[in-house]
């Protein structure tokens, strides 16, 4: 595989493996990340996978730019994705309801779908975790069914409840903590996405595959969910 190597900082390179976001990229990015960890060994400071790239920070006391580039090229020679595709399979419960998913009915109306079909489409496939960002534990996942693709809200909410499940364009995500946000909210999960006790402090990692499992309110509460309602955006 031939990647474009770009300078991101004095001690940081970006390897651009692809130009277009696609779920098929993920196994290749994971395989490249594993190779890079091997060849950089103790000189590796941090490695961050994303949609089409890998950002690599290295120790300037051990390597210069030319040496780091040479190691990147070495890591990609004969690269093949793992047969299993890498990553874990996770099933996360979601209570799909207008009281905690205030955009559920509006999104259904905009897309010309019954609410039940929106829920079935959203929960009917597994999603790749492309990247972590925006907030600790926030995993950008995709790709949602094209029939559910919806632009971000014109005016973001100042406060989105922790656990809120949203859609933006063809991506979906769960808000790990209370924060502002402009995604279309369709439900809420009791899953704890950010936890200092977890590896990397995050439940989700790039390359994981996530499936949302619809649950009723009683099960949601039993699992520790917060059913405090949110209002629809005006």
Q: Report DSSP state, residue 148.
A: G
- The per-residue pLDDT for range 188-215, each reduced to its tens digit, is 999 999 988 887 789 999 999 999 999 9
Contact 137, 194 (CB under 8 A): yes
Burial of 5 (0-12, 13-18, 19+ CB in 10 A): middle
What is the spatial distance between Cα 23 and Cα 31, in angstroms, rounded to a whole number?
14
What is the spatial distance between Cα 219 and Cα 155, in angstroms, rounded to a whole number?
32
Q: What is the pLDDT of residue 230?
A: 87
- The per-residue pLDDT for range 10-49, each reduced to its tens digit, is 999 999 999 999 999 999 999 999 999 999 999 999 999 9
User: Structural domains in the chain?
Assistant: 4-76 (3.30.1360.40), 89-222 (2.40.100.10)
For the cut 60, the answer to whether the pLDDT of residue 234 exceeds it is: no
Contact 163, 188 (CB under 8 A): yes
- The per-residue pLDDT for range 145-190, each reduced to its tens digit, is 999 999 999 999 999 999 999 999 999 999 999 999 999 999 999 9
What is the spatial distance between Cα 156 and Cα 93, in angstroms, rounded to a whole number?
25
Q: What is the pLDDT of residue 85?
A: 59
- The per-residue pLDDT for range 45-97, each reduced to its tens digit, is 999 999 999 999 999 999 999 999 999 999 999 998 876 656 799 999 999 99
pTM attached to this predicted model: 0.89
Backbone φ and ψ of 3, nearest 5°? -110, 155
Q: What is the pLDDT of residue 131?
A: 94
Q: What is the pLDDT of residue 86?
A: 67
Q: What is the pLDDT of residue 73?
A: 95
Contact 148, 158 (CB under 8 A): no
- The per-residue pLDDT for range 84-131, each reduced to its tens digit, is 656 799 999 999 999 999 999 999 999 999 999 999 999 999 999 999
Helix axes 104-111, 115-123, angle to 10 degrees: 100
Q: What is the pLDDT of residue 200?
A: 78
Contact 169, 141 (CB under 8 A): no
DSSP line for 154-211: SS-EEEE-TTEEEEEBTEEEE-SSSEEE-SEEEEE-----B-TTSGGGBS--TT-EEE
Q: Average pLDDT over the chain, rounded to whole?
A: 94
Q: Report DSSP state, residue 144.
A: -
């Amino acid at each position: 595989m031939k990647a474009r190597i770009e300078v991101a900082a004095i001690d940081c390179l970006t390897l651009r493996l692809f130009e277009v976001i696609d779920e098929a990229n993920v196994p290749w990015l994971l395989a490249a990340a594993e190779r890079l960890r091997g060849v950089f060994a103790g000189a590796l400071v941090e490695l961050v996978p994303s949609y089409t790239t890998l950002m690599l920070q290295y120790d300037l006391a051990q390597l210069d730019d030319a040496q780091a580039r040479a190691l990147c090229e070495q890591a990609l020679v004969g690269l093949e994705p793992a047969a299993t595709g890498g990553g874990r399979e996770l099933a996360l419960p979601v209570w799909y309801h207008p009281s905690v998913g205030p955009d559920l009915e509006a999104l259904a109306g905009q897309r010309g779908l019954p609410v039940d079909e929106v829920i079935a489409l959203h929960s009917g496939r597994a999603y790749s975790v492309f990247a972590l960002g925006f907030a600790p534990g926030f995993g950008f996942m995709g790709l949602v069914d094209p029939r559910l693709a919806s632009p971000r809200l014109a005016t973001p909410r100042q406060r989105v409840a922790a656990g809120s499940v949203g859609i933006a364009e063809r991506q979906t995500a769960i808000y790990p903590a209370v924060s502002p946000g402009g995604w279309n909210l369709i439900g809420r999960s009791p899953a704890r996405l950010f936890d200092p006790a977890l590896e990397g402090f995050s439940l989700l990692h790039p390359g994981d595959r996530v499936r949302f499992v619809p649950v009723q309110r009683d099960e949601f509460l039993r699992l520790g969910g917060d059913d405090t309602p949110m209002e629809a955006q005006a």
